[in-house]
Amino acid sequence: MLLPFFWRLIIRACTAVGAMVLISVLVGAFYASSQTAPPLPDRMILSLTLDQDFAEHENDALAGIPGFADKQPPTIRDVVDALERAADDPRVVGLVAEMKGGPGNLAHLQELRAALGRFRTLHGKPAYIYASSYGEAGGLGAYYLASAFDQIWLQPMGTVSVSGLRAEMPFARDALDRLGIAPEFFARKEYKSIFESLTDREMSPANRTATQALIDDLGTRMVAEIAQDRGLSEMTVKTQLDKGLLTDEEALAAGLVQRVDYPDILKAEMMTDAETDVSLSRYIHGLAHERKAAAKGKKDDPRTWVALVYAVGAIVSDGDSGFYGEESASAATISEDILSAAEDDSIKAIILRIDSPGGSPTASETIRRAIVRAREEYNKPVIVSMGATAASGGYWIASPADRIFALPGSLTGSIGVAGGKVALTGLWNKIGVNWDAVQYGDNTGLWSLNAPLSESGTERFNALMDRTYEGFIARVAEGRHMSPEDVDNVARGRVWSGAQAQQRGLVDALGGLSAALDYTAETLGVANRDDLAVVVLPRPLSPFEKITDLIEGQVRVGESLKVFAGLLVPLQAVFEPSALTIKP
């Protein structure tokens, strides 16, 4: 048979690639470990290239390995912390940023804008931004971030696209009908629209109402902040936004940019008061090196220790990164980290940073229980900081916290549940594939994609949806000190912005991770957040552990390919009648 041959070929190729990667990492690490980081200059301009979104936390396999760390994008916490420290660092005389794409989610934009505001106002340091064009792909995010700088520079012949906000959703029901695929999904309640793309042909009235209200809230707030930063009226900004696309001359005349010129001119003007320019990444690593040097010889750290636990990605019971590298929030790992921090007498509080669209209810309940135990059994305050998304299961795990912070643009709520499957019976009939089965139990086909749900199966799914929704409502009511009726009024699967959620009692205060740290310091009676020592959980791996993880990654790729090969067995059986496959 051909499959074993191809399988051996793939394994050998993966082994060869893995060996080459490992050798490269070891050589680079050995070389870089002998190098000494150069000291930061006495007078410098910070340079920041905005060409991609920042990570929530360090999770790249190469991050932290000598020689590779500088090449990894910094985390949003690193960038915000560096800008805030630079504001009070006499060696830093200004900031120049170049927009080449930039952060992709609104919450990160808002955290950056807040940090830029502090950088500019604390000691009056200038912050300039340059781009060949702003928002070439449309949208409002690029210019929204740029508006927080002192001066906005635009290359001659460039454009400013401030086309507002738009939510587009594909609906595949007609395509599924043509293919013979029957979607069988259930939701609680009317706003829980996650599977509408498969079940419907257009937005439901509830989905349209909620999405329009969300877009209006986000857009109105962004326009108001742009107007305030640029010294324009909201009507003026909205008028330009409605045009959608402005030339360089139009943007200059409207006051949306302050200078139409080239980056070399900007750099020359900014460098008159500095020795050199230093990338923000180098500045971040330079500060870390200085902190390590200052800590040498000190026996005790006088600061107050707090734990920062990350819950990033889809919430699963126990998992690692997916086949394509997407991150998941493992309930087993996160709950263990929370309880470890709770049991540690040196750690005085726990901050849970959430960037998750939800996931498994049972996995979410595992994390929620760990938070409840940390508060009730160990008397540790738990503060939640919401990132871009803390919805559905993401809100489930946030609800028992002492205090919840969200960015105005965080997406949260979605207190509801949805689930189901697709039945491929019609598709198999169209292509001439017949499935047969024997079973023990009336509902063994409940999860099979090769049979539609029976009446009993439908009843079981509905029972599961009802139980999960009622449990979700009860847990939010308990955590937020609301009645179940009041929770149901703001639940029903509806997504809210952070600002909308605060108005409805689902969020306590607006702000990013810095605001959560400020509140934690205040709660613990500490002067300010600089007196907090933050231990990050899950604990970042050491360079050696990360190299080991790379090796294990090759094994995981091999295992994934093995699973993929297993998926081909049913098709192999179609073309090789003698083959027999038995599955539990």
Cβ partners under 8 Å of residue 491, min gap 6? 189, 413, 415, 416, 472, 473, 476
Dist. CA 300–CA 335, nearest whole Å: 29
Dist. CA 266–CA 98, nearest whole Å: 11
**Rg over CA atoms, the chain:** 27
State the pLDDT confidence band at 101, using cuts at 50, 70 and 90: confident
pLDDT score of 11:
56
**Cβ neighbours, 10 Å, residue 451:** 18
- In the predicted structure, residue 558 carries a pLDDT above the cut 90: no
Instruction: Give the Cα-Cα-Cα angle 165, 169, 170 (nearest 5 degrees).
Output: 150
- Domains with residue ranges and CATH for the chain: 1-35+551-584 (no CATH), 37-163+244-288 (3.90.226.10), 304-415+491-540 (3.90.226.10)
Burial of 581 (C-beta count, 10 Å sphere; 0-12/13-18/19+): exposed
Peptide bond into 189 cis (omega under 30): yes
Q: Three-class SS string for 420-432?
A: EEEECHHHHHHHC
- Tens of pLDDT, residue by residue over 482-510, are 999 999 999 999 999 999 999 999 999 99
Give 554's Cβ-side CA count (13 Å radius). Answer: 18
User: Average pLDDT of the chain?
Assistant: 86
Mean pLDDT over 526-540 rounds to 87
Mean pLDDT over 384-404 rounds to 98
- Helix then strand then coil, in percent of the chain rounded to 5, is 50, 20, 35
**Cβ neighbours, 10 Å, residue 107:** 24
State the pLDDT confidence band at 1, using cuts at 50, 70 and 90: very low
> What are the C-alpha distances in Å from 163 to residues 139, 166, 301?
5, 9, 50
Dist. CA 401–CA 577, nearest whole Å: 58
pLDDT score of 10:
59
Structural contact between residues 360 and 330, judged by C-beta atoms closer than 8 angstroms: no
Dist. CA 131–CA 140, nearest whole Å: 15
What's 531's DSSP letter?
G
- Tens of pLDDT, residue by residue over 129-170, are 999 999 877 778 999 999 999 999 999 999 999 889 999 999
Mean pLDDT over 290-294 rounds to 81
Q: Please name every residue paired with 389 in a beta bridge, in sequence order, or none if there are none.
A: 411
Dist. CA 519–CA 405, nearest whole Å: 10
- In the predicted structure, residue 378 carries a pLDDT above the cut 80: yes
**Cβ neighbours, 10 Å, residue 449:** 15
* pLDDT greater at residue 431 or residue 1: 431
pLDDT score of 141:
92
pLDDT score of 294:
77
Structural contact between residues 420 and 447, judged by C-beta atoms closer than 8 angstroms: no
Dist. CA 291–CA 337, nearest whole Å: 26
Dist. CA 178–CA 201, nearest whole Å: 13
pTM: 0.85
Dist. CA 208–CA 206, nearest whole Å: 5
- Tens of pLDDT, residue by residue over 208-263, are 999 999 999 999 999 999 999 999 999 999 999 999 999 999 999 999 999 999 99
pLDDT score of 422:
96
- In the predicted structure, residue 390 carries a pLDDT above the cut 60: yes
Q: Please name every residue paired with 131 in a beta bridge, in sequence order, or none if there are none.
A: 154
Longest dimension (CA), the chain: 81
Burial of 578 (C-beta count, 10 Å sphere; 0-12/13-18/19+): exposed
